[in-house]
Each structure stands twice: as C-alpha cells, then as structure tokens.
C-alpha cells in the first residue's frame, strides 16, 4: 500500500514531476518507426510523458523529434511541409532541421534571429521498429538498451500497440504480475488445451470458448504478447505462486514458482525480467518484450514487439496490428485505442467462459486494468505475497526518485550490462535447481540488497 501522496509521485509523469524527471533519464520508445515510413513523408504528432512533439523523417532519412509548436508563434509543426532537409511551418514558413536548427525565416529578412535561437529538439534513434527519444538534460544520455530484438530488420518484427485510457502504472503492474495469469486468462489457457481448472471454489470446465483468439504457436498468433506458457497447457493447479525477486543491472527479475500437479519433486517456474523503466520480458513469450509508455497521466501505450522468423510477414503483421494512416493529422490513430468488446455474461453463466472477454490476454488485461479507473489510488489496496514483484518495481522507482532529487542517476541504467542477454523463462525444473540457472544473462544479485 502507498499513501495517496506516494501514489501521486508514482503515477504523474509530466515535466517537473518527480517521476517525470526520472523517466526522462532513460531512452523512451515514443512512437512506431513505421509511422514515418520514408524520407519526407508526412510528420506525426507524438504525445509522451505529458508533452506533445512533432516527429518527422527528413530527405536523407534522418529522424527529427521537435517540440510540437513552432517557436515563431506556436502553430503545430505536425501541419508542416517536410521537404529538402527539414520541416517547414505552414503559418509563416519557418523551416527547421532535425537538430532544431532554424534554417529559414521567410518573414524576417535578416538571419540574426535564426542564428541565435534553436528550436527544442531531442536525440532520437530508430531500433526494434520504434523511435526512441531522450528527453532528459543534454549530455546525460545513458547507454542505449540494445535488447536482443532491437537490431532486427523490419520484416523480422511484429509491433502491435494498444492505446489504453488509464495511468500507465496500472498496465505496467499487470505486465509483471504472475498470479493473475492462470485466473484472469483461463479462457486463453482453455483455448491452448489446459483442461479443467479451479479458481477457489469455482470449477471451470476448460472447454475452448474463444476459438478466434490469437494464441502463441498457432497460426495467426505468432509472437503474441502476454501468452501464458507453452502451447498445450499450464502444468500447475497452484494459484498462489511463491515470488522470489532479485535486483539486476537493468532493474530486477523474479521467479513465480508453482507446484507441478502430480509431480512433487518438480516446480513450474516463470521468470520475468523488468528493464527499467518501460520494458518487461515475460516467460513463455517468444523473443521480444512488452513495453508500457505513458503518453500522459491518464493514457498510455502498451506495445508488444516480437521477433519472428524472416519472411513470416513481420512488417505486414505490424500494419494489421497498428493499421495507422500516418497521413491523418490528429491526436493519435484511433484504431490503436482499445475498444473493449461487450462482456459475455451468458457465456460466463453457462460456465463456457471465465472472464467473458473475447480477444485474448491483452483484451482481458485491458479490461481489468482500465477498470481500476483513470488513476487508481493505491492507498485503498491490500497487497499479498503474490504481489512481491510489484512492490519491488515501486521500490526501484521510489529509490530512483530520491536519487534523481539528490542529483544522482536513477537505477537500472544498465552501466556495463549486456542488454541483449536479458531473458525470461517458463519451464518445469527440479525442486532443488536454482531458477537463476535459466536466465544467467540477467546477472541477478542473489541476496537482494537495497541499492544505495
């Protein structure tokens, strides 16, 4: 439980807020690179960490990430013309380069002003199908998190983004929350063939109900984020996993340890790694990650990025999942905004469905996470041991807030860390085997210590 004041600190991300200052010290995946598909294509508006920006790709293919409003008199640069090495404001024709240099001021004959002033521009780079920006103080950029999927070619990646109407922390907590998986996602488990299961006194028949659901390992389901395990089942009836957490150079990782039905000498272990501050690597999901980024205090993007074999239609899948038309000027592509289907109460009452939401894990997750409201007040919650990973994440953020306030760097910048070796796992092991053996690249610290 947090106090209402601590909750405010954790959730608010705008410029000048404690968490806003922390998040601006990491590379932030702010938009899909595919929304700027070619040199001189139409610009896009990006809302991230409570601020609006104009992103564009210049004639030589370089990305620019600028303050949205023209520094002459504030027209939106997202209305502008992208041509000949820059973006030109429609209103009076001022033209900007990707680094914020003012190239032309047609309604001002002399060059004195443009030589003195620069428009707000931020470091931006393209990796893993995303545009990553650095919004912190100049010169403080940390090493870029080169994850195992960030150097993949466009046709090896599936990127799917859901814009959700709730504070980002609700979604982030869901990403690292193991104990809901075999409860909320029972319909998914049933579709994957897990058979009958109990939730408390409720006996769920386990008959597949949502046959159109995308499922990992099944046609159409490649790389779907949030999958609960290997196709074919979930080898445990244990709904109260023991959670063991360790800090790592990039944040933390944890194991959710469950008994295995009928095999007392075995344990079903799911290891999740959390790379501060946005990215979760989830056990049982194909190579990739789930990234949650705040757009503002009440809206976030949940982005799944997954590596697929070359020729498996990665880029095409991205277009289907995102489907944005970058030529449309507006706050954001509406077809990325989650629209929940009607909850099927009849199927629930008949014992055919547990949650009643068609569409798979991400829809089920979105339903409960958005149901917490625009910004849940954690002063009202009651945490249990199954929530240990969530507690650790909040602690790393709270410690980072204190550190940044004291003029230090936040935690998890990964100095000296090989980001490409960060891993997750989902498998059965002998009861005596350390789960850490499954993920040596995470460099977990065995005795969790509070980092100073």
Q: Which is nearer to ligand FES, 99 or 237 (CB)?
A: 99
Q: Cβ distance 255 to 273 under 8 Å?
A: no
Distances (CA, A) of 157 to 47, 231, 336, 419: 23, 21, 18, 18
In DSSP terms, which residues pair with 157 in a beta bridge? 307
Kindly write out the interface string for residues 318-357 of this chain, putting x where it contacts Fe ion by CB under 5 A and - elsewhere: ----------------------------------------
Q: Of the candidates 87, 86, 85, which has an alpha carbon nearest to the alpha carbon of residue 75?
A: 87
Candidate list 23, 66, 70, 192; residue touching ligand FES; CB under 6 A: 70
Q: Which is nearer to ligand FES, 72 or 392 (CB)?
A: 72
Q: Cβ distance 81 to 106 under 8 Å?
A: no
- Shortest distance in whole angstroms from residue 39 CB to ligand FES: 22
Q: What is the DSSP letter of 18?
A: H
Within 10 angstroms of residue 226's Cβ, the number of other Cβ atoms is 23
Q: Is 56 among the residues that bind ligand FES (CB under 6 A)?
A: no
SS3 content of the chain, % helix, strand, coil (to 5): 25, 25, 50
Kindly write out the interface string for residues 232-261 of this chain, putting x where it contacts ligand FES by CB under 6 A and - elsewhere: ------------------------------
Q: Is 81 among the residues that bind ligand FES (CB under 6 A)?
A: no
Q: Cβ distance 189 to 206 under 8 Å?
A: yes
Q: Of the candidates 43, 40, 37, 225, which has an alpha carbon nearest to the alpha carbon of residue 126?
A: 37
Binding site partner of 150, from ligand FES, Fe ion, none, Cβ cut-off 5-8 A by kind: none
Q: Cβ distance 242 to 410 under 8 Å?
A: no
Q: Which is nearer to ligand FES, 91 or 298 (CB)?
A: 91
Stretch that binds ligand FES, among 91-99, 156-164, 171-179, 254-262 (CB under 6 A): 91-99
Q: Is 365 among the residues that bind Fe ion (CB under 5 A)?
A: yes
Binding site partner of 428, from Fe ion, ligand FES, none, Cβ cut-off 5-8 A by kind: none
Q: Is 187 among the residues that bind Fe ion (CB under 5 A)?
A: no
Q: Half-sphere exposure (CA, 13 Å, Cβ side) for 443?
A: 15
Q: Is 73 among the residues that bind ligand FES (CB under 6 A)?
A: yes
Q: Which is nearer to ligand FES, 75 or 420 (CB)?
A: 75
Token pair belonging to 296: 């503002």
Stretch that binds ligand FES, among 89-97, 108-116, 243-251, 368-376 (CB under 6 A): 89-97
Q: Is 91 among the residues that bind ligand FES (CB under 6 A)?
A: yes
| Number of chain residues interacting with ligand FES (CB under 6 A) | 10
DSSP string, 131-146: EEE--SSTT-PPPP--
CA of residue 385 relative to chain centroid, distance: 25
Q: Which is nearer to ligand FES, 91 or 144 (CB)?
A: 91
Candidate list 81, 92, 118, 242; residue touching ligand FES; CB under 6 A: 92
* Prior bond of 277 cis (ω within 30°): yes
Q: Is 82 among the residues that bind ligand FES (CB under 6 A)?
A: no
The Cα–Cα gap between 62 and 40 comes to: 10
Binding region for ligand FES (CB under 6 A) = 70, 72-75, 89, 91-94
């Amino acid at each position: 439980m947090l106090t209402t004041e601590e909750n405010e600190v954790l959730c608010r991300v705008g410029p000048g807020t404690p968490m806003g200052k922390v998040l601006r010290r990491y590379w932030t995946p702010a938009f899909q690179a595919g929304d700027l598909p070619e040199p001189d294509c139409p610009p896009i508006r990006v809302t991230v960490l409570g601020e609006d920006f104009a992103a564009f790709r210049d004639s030589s293919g370089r990305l620019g990430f600028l303050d949205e409003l023209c520094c002459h008199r504030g027209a939106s640069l997202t209305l502008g013309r992208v041509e000949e090495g820059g973006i030109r404001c429609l209103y009076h024709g001022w033209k900007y380069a990707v680094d914020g240099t003012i190239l032309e001021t047609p309604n001002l004959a002399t060059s004195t002003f443009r030589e003195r002033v620069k428009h707000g521009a931020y470091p931006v780079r393209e990796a893993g199908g995303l545009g990553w920006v650095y919004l912190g103080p100049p010169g403080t950029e940390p090493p870029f998190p080169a994850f195992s999927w960030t150097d993949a070619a466009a046709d090896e990646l599936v990127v799917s983004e859901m814009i959700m109407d709730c504070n980002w922390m609700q979604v982030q907590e869901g990403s690292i929350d193991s104990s809901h998986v075999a409860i909320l996602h029972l319909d998914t488990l049933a579709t994957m063939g897990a058979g009958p299961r109990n939730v408390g006194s409720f006996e769920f028949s386990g008959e597949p109900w949502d046959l159109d659901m995308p499922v990992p390992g099944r046609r159409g389901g490649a790389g779907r984020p949030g999958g609960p395990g290997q196709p074919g089942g979930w080898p445990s009836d244990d709904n109260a996993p023991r959670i063991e957490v360790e800090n790592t150079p990039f944040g933390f990782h944890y194991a959710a340890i469950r008994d295995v039905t009928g095999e007392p000498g075995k344990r079903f272990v799911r290891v999740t790694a959390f790379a501060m501050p946005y990215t979760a690597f989830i056990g049982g999901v194909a190579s990739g990650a789930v990234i949650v980024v705040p757009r503002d205090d009440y809206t976030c993007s949940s982005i799944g990025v997954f590596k697929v074999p070359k020729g498996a239609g990665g880029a095409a899948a991205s277009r289907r999942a995102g489907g944005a038309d970058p030529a449309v000027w507006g706050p954001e592509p509406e077809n990325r905004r989650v629209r929940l289907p009607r909850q099927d109460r009849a199927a629930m009452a008949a014992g055919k469905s547990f949650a009643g939401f068609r569409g798979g894990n991400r829809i089920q997750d979105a339903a409960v996470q958005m149901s917490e409201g625009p910004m849940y007040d954690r002063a009202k919650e009651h945490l249990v041991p199954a929530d240990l990973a969530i507690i650790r994440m909040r602690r790393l953020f709270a410690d980072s807030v204190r550190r940044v306030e004291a003029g230090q760097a936040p935690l998890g910048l990964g100095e000296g860390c090989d980001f490409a070796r960060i891993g997750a796992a989902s498998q059965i092991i002998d009861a005596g085997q350390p789960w850490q053996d499954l993920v040596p690249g995470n460099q977990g610290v065995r005795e969790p210590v509070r980092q100073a």
